[in-house]
Amino acid sequence: MVDLTALGPAAVDESVLTGMVARLLSRPVDRLVDVGVEEVDYDTPAITTASRHWVRGSTDEGVAWSLFCKHVQSWERHPFFAFVPPEVRERAAGGVPWRSEPEVYRSDLADRLPPGLTMPRAVGVFDLDELSAAVWLPALDVVDVPWDRARYTAAAYAVGRFAASPGVRAVADGVGHDVTVWTYLHGRLAAQVLPALRDDATWEHPLVAQTFGPELRDGLRSAAYRAEALTAELAGLPLLASHGDTCPNNLLGVRGVEGLCLIDYGFFGPMPVGFDLAQLLVGDVQTGAAPYDDLPGLDDALVSAYAEGLRAEGDRTPLDVVRRGHALKLVLYAALSAVPLEHLHEPPSERLLEVARGRAAIARHGLELLERTG
């Protein structure tokens, strides 16, 4: 008997699991043996992910198989939601979509991706209740490939094609959430980021004082004062398809598969042109996983490659418009929130100081790019 109780609400019965394995292997399966469940060791928490598990075993014919089960949920069910003031809970819950990912895996997006991109094909997507679902995916043989300049630019080109592809845009329009750039302004920025930037205690904290400095403080406060106007400008740019989180962790190299495998579609939907470039540029810098000494040079290469990707799909958005959209997104979503608020309760170790230096470099580059493109 197959025991999947470790999956909690995401558990399925043996016949359903057998059917998913048959779809995975593209062959009939009579019986499963040696089935085991293992929780995935994952360093980066996500408020819309309740759990991640490997489910592995073999068929009675000795064919090994492995599946990844992801239990997604509204962040109303995350413990952190208890700290959200009651008067803004409805807006807060709506500002972090969770339904997009299961809907994407129910769609035919995998057949619409441009050359250079692939994605896993779900073998099962199940609604668990009104606030959660489970997505079952094939296990990927991920290859650890260094992110050098060539890989970054290839990714930017592919993301540009993704943004402008008519097929991808059709899915984004039908599957995407109703989150917009205004949602972010009235949500996280207004509730957490902007008040912290106005608070002198933020800038007096040793971790911040040693890495940001008065000039950067004043620049960020000035941009914060203009946040509504900057959001309005970003919202007025052409809408294309956006993955929503194209950091290197979500653009995988998979053994035996050409191109990049794109995962994690929680924020997939229509967004302004250039929207996905910021996370590609600074996603790993934000966590201290990538260097920050050449952000301007890498930025120029990524914007150019992204624009080439747009043109390959027939989109003729001018390069200066792409660059301006990228600058606005980078400032609103990364520069303004660069101060490491989540670490201010920790002693300023050398590791945290280096993370803060990278965050300061993001903020500085974002403000300079905003000024240069305005």
Closest CA to 339 of 184, 199, 208, 189: 208
Q: What are the angstrom distances between the C-alpha of 49 and each of 54, 165, 261? A: 15, 29, 20
**Nearest by Cα to 168 from 338, 5, 312, 17:** 312
Residue 305 phi, psi (nearest 5): -65, -40
> Which residues pair with residue 69 across a beta bridge?
53, 136
Residue type, 368: E
> Domains of the chain by range and CATH?
5-136 (no CATH), 140-373 (3.90.1200.10)
> Average of pLDDT values for 198-209?
96
Please give, one letter per residue, the 3-state secondary structure of 67-115. EEEEEEECHHHCHHHHHCCHHHHHHHHHCCCCCHHHHHHHCCHHHHCCC
- Angle, vertex CA 72, rays to CA 120 and CA 174, nearest 5: 65
Looking at the predicted structure, is the pLDDT value of residue 164 above 90?
yes
H or E stretch at 322: helix 319-330
Which pLDDT belongs to residue 175?
Answer: 82
How confident is the prediction for the chain on average, in pLDDT? 94
Helices (H), 176-276: 181-184, 194-198, 200-204, 206-209, 213-225, 227-235
50-109 tens-digit pLDDT: 999 999 999 999 999 999 999 999 988 888 777 777 877 777 777 788 999 999 999 999
> Is the pLDDT assigned to residue 141 strictly greater than 90?
yes
Q: How does DSSP classify residue 332?
A: I
Q: What is the pLDDT of residues 16-38, one digit of tens each?
A: 999 999 999 999 999 999 999 99
pLDDT higher than threshold 90 for residue 324 = yes
Q: How confident is the model at residue 178 (pLDDT cuts 50, 70, 90)?
A: confident
Contact 335, 359 (CB under 8 A): no
Q: What is the pLDDT of residue 300?
A: 97
pLDDT tens for each residue of 239-264: 999 999 999 999 999 999 999 999 99
